[in-house]
Amino acid sequence: MNKRPLGRSGLQIAPLVLGTNVFGWNTDERTSFSLLDQFFDAGLNAIDTADMYSVWAPGNHGGESETIIGNWFKASPSRREKAVLITKVGAELAPDKKGLSAGYIMAAAEASLRRLQTDYIDLYLSHYPDPATPVEETLRAYETLIQQGKVRAIGASNHSVPQLREALQASSRENLPRYEVVQPAYNLYDRDGYEGELRDLCMDEGLGVITYYGVASGFLSGKYRSAADESKSQARGNRMAKYLNERGFRILDALDAVAAAHDATPAEVALAWLIAHKDVTAPISSVTSTEQMDSLIRSTRLTLSDGDIQALNTASRE
C-alpha cells in the first residue's frame, strides 16, 4: 500500500490511521489486539492514541488505550518497528495533570513511554493549545525529547491558525523543532474548520494533515437518520443533533447514491472522500469490531470518480 509523507518529518504512513480512543472504553484488550492485527495485516501502519484516552469512562483515569497498545507491542514485538505510533499530551487528566509546560511534557512523555512499552514515540502531538505556557517552552521540551531519541517528530491538534502560525514562527526564529503535522476535525459535513486559512497554511508550510471525526461521530455512516436513532450511539453526549437537518440529510442521500454505485457503505465513501484529498495525509477512524475493520480497510481501496466527488461536494455545500 502506498505511503504518504508526514510533513518533513521523514515518517510515512498508509492513507488511513487507526483511532484507538475506544480501546479500554467500549473495546476490551482481547478485541483491541484482534483489531490491531487485522489493521496491520492489511498493510496499514499508523496508530493514533493519547494519554487522556479514555479518561471519560467510569473508573478510568487516562492511559487505558496506551496500555493496551503497549501490551500488544509486547505480545507482537515485530509490529513496533513497522508502526507509526502517534500519541498526544496536554489534555486534562486531573487538575494537576494538564497543559504544555516543559516539566509536564517531560513527565507525561515518560509515563506514555512506560504504558506503550516502547523507547520512542514516532509522532508526539500537543493535544490542545496551552495559553498559560509560552510556545517556546513547549518546543524546547520537545527538542529535549527529540535529542534523547524518545520522540521522532511533533505536531499539533486542535490549534487555530494564529496559534499554529505563532508556533511555526517560534520554531524558525529560535531554531527549534517545528510542528510537522496538524490534526483538525474534518469531514463532509464539518468543513469550515479546515478548509480555508488552515488548509492554506498547511499547504504553504508543507505540513502533514491527519483529520479526525471522518464520519462525523458516526452520522455519515447513515445509521443516525432521526433523533430516535441517537440511542444507537455510545458516543459521549448528544452529537447527532447538529447533523439532523436539511443539509445533513442531503449529504446522506448523496452518500447513499455513491455507495450503491460502488457496492460500498456510506461510511466507506465518506472516508474515501477524505483519502482522495491531496491536501489530507490520512483520516483517522475508530472501530470496535472485526466487521467494522473490514469496512475500514475497504475504504482505503475504494476509488471515487470525479463525478462521485463532485456529487458529494455539491450535497455538502451550505
Q: Are 309 and 43 in contact (CB under 8 A)?
A: no
Which among 53, 179, 186, 212 is annotated as catalytic? 53
With a CB cutoff of 8 Å and minimum separation 6, the contacts of 90 are 98, 99, 100, 105, 126, 127, 128, 130
Determine whether 142 is an active site residue. Answer: no
Please give the grid coordinates belonging to residue 132. 498559560
Alpha-carbon distance of 12 to 45, in angstroms, equals 9
Helix (H) or strand (E) holding 228: none
Please give the torsion angle defined by the CA atoms of residues 162, 281, 4 and 10, in that order, rounded to the nearest 10 degrees. 20
Residues 6+ apart with CB under 8 A from 288: 22, 26, 27, 31, 35
> Residue 163's CB: how many other CB atoms inside 10 A?
17
Active site residues per annotation: 53
